Structure 1
Amino acid sequence: MSESEVVNATRKWVEDVVVGYNLCPFAKRELVKDRVRFVVTEAGTEDELVQALHAELQLLEDQPDVETTLLIHPSVLQNFYAYNEFLDTADALLDYLELEGIYQIASFHPDYQFAHTEADAAENYTNRSPYPMLHLLREASLESAIDSYPDVDGIPDRNIELMNREGADKLKSLLKACFSEIENKRTGE
C-alpha cells in the first residue's frame, strides 16, 4: 500500500468516524483549518518507530502552526498487545525529552480493545483506526479546548453509548469503507 493510500484511508476514517460521529468534539476545527498532519512512517521495528516519534515531536516543537500529528505506522506493531506495551516506551520518550505535559500521545489501532471488554465490543471502535497510529497532541491546546467545552467528562460515556447503539457490525463496515476507494482503484471500478 502506498503512502497516499494509507493517508487517504486514515483521513476518511477521521472525517467519517471521528468527526462524523463527533467522537472528539475538537477534531473538526483542526481538520477544517488543515492543522492536522498525517504522516506515514516506514518504520519496521520498534526502535525505528521511536526514532520517527522523536522526529515528529521535534517537528511539532519547530512548527507551532502544526496543531497535531497522526503518526501512522502500518509496518510495525500490528499486534495490539505489543502496540499497547509500546505506549509505555512512547511515554518514556516524552519524559526523556522533557516534553511530558507539553505533548500527549493518544492511541489508535485496528484491533483496539479496552480493558474488560470483549474483542468484538462496539465500544472498542472509539479507538479503532485503519492502521496503528500514535496521535500527538499539544496539551495546552487540548486544555484550552476542554475548558471551553461543556461536560468534557461525559465524552467517553457518550461515545461508548453511541458506539453500542450503532453496533459492532455497522462500525466494522465503516472502518472497512475507509479502504473502499483504494480497492475500487485497484479493481478499476
Structure 2
Amino acid sequence: MNYIPPTPACEDVKRWLDTMVIGHNFCPFARFVRDQQRIRYVDIASDDMAEVLTGLRAEFDHLDETPKTSTTLVVLPLGWQDFEDYLLLVDVAQQSLEHWGYEGCYQLASFHPDYLFDGEPSGAASHFTNRAPHPVIHIIREAEMEQALAHHADPESIPQTNIETAESLGKKALQAQLDACKHRD
C-alpha cells in the first residue's frame, strides 16, 4: 500500500471523527475501525464531478484490493460547499456505484458542513449528526456494516439516540466543536 501524506483537510476530518462521531457516539462502530487503523482518508481536491467520480472508482478498486481497509472517507475540500451541488454529486456517485456493479458490496454515506435532513427544521441540532468540517463521501463495506449491526443490541435506535444526543448538546455547542475541527493557518 502506498503511503499518502495527510492533507490539512484529511486531518480536519480525523479530528471531526474523534471529537464528534466517536466523541458523541454518533456511529457506535467508528471507534473499533479507528482503533484498528482500518480507515483510509483520501483528499480529492477537485470541483470537477468527473474527476471526483474517477477518484471514487479508484477507492472502490483500492478497497477491492485491500481487505484490511474497512472504509474510506473521501474528503472534498474544494468546490462542493454548496449543499445542493454536493447532493447532486452524491446522487451521481450512487448511480455510478450501481453502474460499476458495486451495489451490495459498498454503500455511501454523506456528510457536509451544511447538512440538512429533509423535513427537519433548518435550525435543528440533529443536522450535526451528518455535519463535517468538509464535504465527505464515506464508502462503507456492506458486509462489515451488516456484521456490526448484527452485534448491536438495538440498531434501529441509533438515529433517535443521535437526535436526542444532538438536541441535549445543542446547536451552539455542536457548531463550536465542528468549527474547532477545522485546520487554521
Give the Cα separation in 1 of the matches to 2:122 and 2:23.
Answer: 23
Give the secondary-structure state (helix, strand or coil) at the position aligned to 1:87.
helix
Partner of 2:167: 164
Equivalent pair of 1:56/1:69 in contact (CA under 8 Å):
yes
Match for residue 177 of structure 1 among 172, 177, 180: 180
1:120 paired to 2:123: yes
Matched, 1:32 2:24: no
Kindly tell me the number of residue pairs found equivalent between the two proteins: 181
Which structure is higher in RCO with an 8 Å CA cutoff and minimum separation 6?
2
SS state at 1:107 partner: strand
**In the TM superposition, what is the alpha-carbon distance from 1:42 to its structure 2 partner?**
1.9
Segment drifting more, 105-114 vs 75-84? 75-84
CA distance in 2, matches of 1:40, 1:13: 15
Instruction: Please list, as runs of the form range in 1=range in 2, the aligned pairs for 1:8-157 lying within 5 A after superposition.
Output: 8-157=11-160
TM-score (norm 1): 0.92
Q: How far off is 1:4 after superposition?
A: 2.3
Q: Once superposed, which parts of structure 1, at least 4 consecutive aligned residues long, lie more than 4 Å away?
A: none
Q: Give ranges in structure 2 of 5+ residues lacking alignment.
A: none
Contact 1:17 1:174 in 2 (8 A): yes
Alpha-carbon deviation of 1:119? 2.4
Structure 1 residue runs of 5 or longer lacking an equivalent are none
Which SS does the other structure have where 2:7 is aligned?
helix
The two structures, once aligned, show a CA RMSD in angstroms of 1.3
The whole-number CA distance in structure 2 between the counterparts of 1:91 and 1:117 is 23
TM-score (norm: length of structure 2): 0.94
Identity of matched residues, % = 35
**Distance in 1 between the 2:38 and 2:115 partners?**
25
Distance 2:6 2:28 in 1: 27
1:5 is matched with which residue? 8
